[in-house]
Structure 1
Amino acid sequence: MNIEKRRQDIIHYLMKNGIVSVNHLIEIMKESPATIRRDLTFLEENGYISRSRGYAKYIQPDIVHQIRITDGQVAVAREAAKLIPANSTIFLDSGASALALAQQITNRDDITVITNSLTAANVLAATNVTTYVIGGYLEGRQEALVGPEAEKYIRTMKFPILFLTTTGVRGTQGLACVTPFQANLKSALIEASEKVVVLADAKKFEKDSLRVFADFKNLDIIIVDQPIRNQAQLMALEKNQVELIIAEQ
């Protein structure tokens, strides 16, 4: 079984069944104990599950009104807001960093925002920012609209600037996220955008996720809150001519 699908299956099983013994997971996944334990270590290190005395448990995400935006994400959003020209149209992705950017542009009355994020749309609802929300399947973890209908709409559009978020970065391979819906939509957004700006606190470069959705060559700018420490990643960004901006805090 593909490693990404197996890890996704483990997450889904834990979501449905609560606390599950590691031995039971080994039995139902029909993989070696070493393989499943490596998967569980990966998922635990990346914040999807917790483990205790031979058991694993899925960690529920924060509900929307409890989303915590860090100082680093605010700094990244503040820097990103400077890149939005007057009288422009942007696409704003979902996630905490995108929400932070929405909060930074509430005073604008000259821009149009298209988004798949319900939380970002709610922030902009009471402002003079012209806001459109795409349709699609509601993925609760991110309060994001995704799926085939959303992708179909995206592929009919062309966005001058995309502000993109990511769950993690897989080494020098590229950006990674959790679900196939998210991965497919983000890939479609990149194809439909003239400029791709990634909003990512530096810790994302130390955190992998389940599905790679973008190579570094697909990106134009990455904004981070702290310097990236991985030299191989820095070299890959330079090789692919990705501009790296470190936000002032």
Structure 2
Amino acid sequence: MSDNQNLLAEQRRALILDEVRRRGGVRVNELTRRLNVSDMTVRRDLDALARQGVLEKVHGGAVPVAEASTHEPGFEAKSSLELSAKEDIARAAATMVVPGSAIALSGGTTTYALAHHLLDVADLTVVTNSVRVADVFHTAQRAGGTGGRRPGAPTVVLTGGVRTPSDSLVGPVADQAIRSLHFDVLFLGVHGVSVEAGLSTPNLAEAETNRRLVRSARRVVVVADHTKWGTVGLSSFARLDEVDTLVTDSGLPDRARVEIAEHLPNLVVAGEAAEPSPEPAEPTS
């Protein structure tokens, strides 16, 4: 990190959090030098990150929070993290969507970002178990002011179920709704990705609902920023060999890229030149 004097608070805090996670802890005086800001600014940033529960303040600095495998942050807490990475991922993933196709969007802040990029894709059928994702399309429809569904607007199917802290709908009702459906492509947000555990979540009911989503999809695209790599939640719901494409951001370390390339057919690193772009799935007939 260097010459970051003009960074917005949001960007500066993302850099601080990345440094804490990468090094296992930082000191205030180190951050003031590297970010070229005052001691008071750094302490305010650490206070804000500590309130979000993503790091722990200690004397003279901060260390990562040692999360239990059952810890599930709420939507608001997650939505403020890695914003630029999620936006890059969303833009890259949106290019994989074919007009007229049937897609599924799972819960999560990255799929929420993706939904905003799909509003103008014609004739989509969108199945989602995310209240937030469904609301993106609903709000856009109301903003059109036509009093009805505009031509080419997405058809959105929101599953029922029990609401999780991340505003996903899970449980038997959601599972039953998904079981009879078939998607061209599933865009899946995850709590954690690793070689050993595959895709995982801290919520047992969400794990089962995600299994149903994976089984119903012709193609599975995981959208996950680099901080998800190596994270393991309580329950695994899919192996890496069940994933067709991982879309992540340029913060992913080189060693992780090598590991992923050994287990997945496609890795898309959003925001970098010459992104590999897998062929979009054809719509179901």
TM-score w.r.t. structure 1 length? 0.71
Q: Is 2:107 the partner of 1:94?
A: yes
Unpaired runs of 5+ residues, structure 2, are: 1-63, 142-152, 273-285
Q: Is 2:148 the partner of 1:136?
A: no
Cα 1:60–1:85 change in 2 (3 A) is: closer
Residue from 46, 49, 57 that aligns with 2:67? 46
Residue from 271, 278, 282 that aligns with 1:248? 271
Give the Å deviation of 1:171: 4.3
RMSD, matched Cα: 2.6
CA distance in 1, matches of 2:264, 2:73: 38
Give the Å deviation of 1:211: 1.5
Q: Is 2:191 the partner of 1:167?
A: yes
TM-score w.r.t. structure 2 length? 0.62
SS at match of 2:247: strand
Cα 1:48–1:180 change in 2 (3 A) is: closer
Question: Partner letter of residue 116 of structure 2?
Answer: Q
CA distance in 2, matches of 1:153, 1:163: 17
Give the Å deviation of 1:190: 0.6
Question: Partner letter of residue 45 of structure 1?
Answer: A
Question: Partner letter of residue 160 of structure 2?
Answer: G
The superposition leaves residues 183-222 of structure 1 with CA deviations (integer Å, 9 ceiling, x where unpaired) of: 1011111111100000000110032222211110110000
Once the two structures are superposed, the pairs formed by residues 71-150 of structure 1 within 5 Å of their partners are: 71-125=84-138, 126-127=140-141, 128-139=153-164, 141-150=165-174
CA distance in 2, matches of 1:117, 1:62: 11
CA distance in 2, matches of 1:195, 1:60: 28
Q: Which has the larger radius of gyration?
A: 2
Question: Partner letter of residue 191 of structure 1?
Answer: R
SS at match of 2:157: strand
SS at match of 2:267: strand
Cα 1:159–1:136 change in 2 (3 A) is: same
Give the Å deviation of 1:230: 6.4
CA distance in 1, matches of 2:187, 2:101: 13
Once the two structures are superposed, the pairs formed by residues 183-194 of structure 1 within 5 Å of their partners are: 183-194=207-218
CA distance in 1, matches of 2:216, 2:231: 27
Which residue number corresponds to residue 68 of structure 1? 80
Pick the structure with more strand per residue.
1
Identity over aligned residues, as a percent? 27
Give the Å deviation of 1:89: 1.0
The superposition leaves residues 29-50 of structure 1 with CA deviations (integer Å, 9 ceiling, x where unpaired) of: xxxxxxxxxxxxxx9423889x
Give the Å deviation of 1:152: 1.6
Q: How many residues align?
A: 196
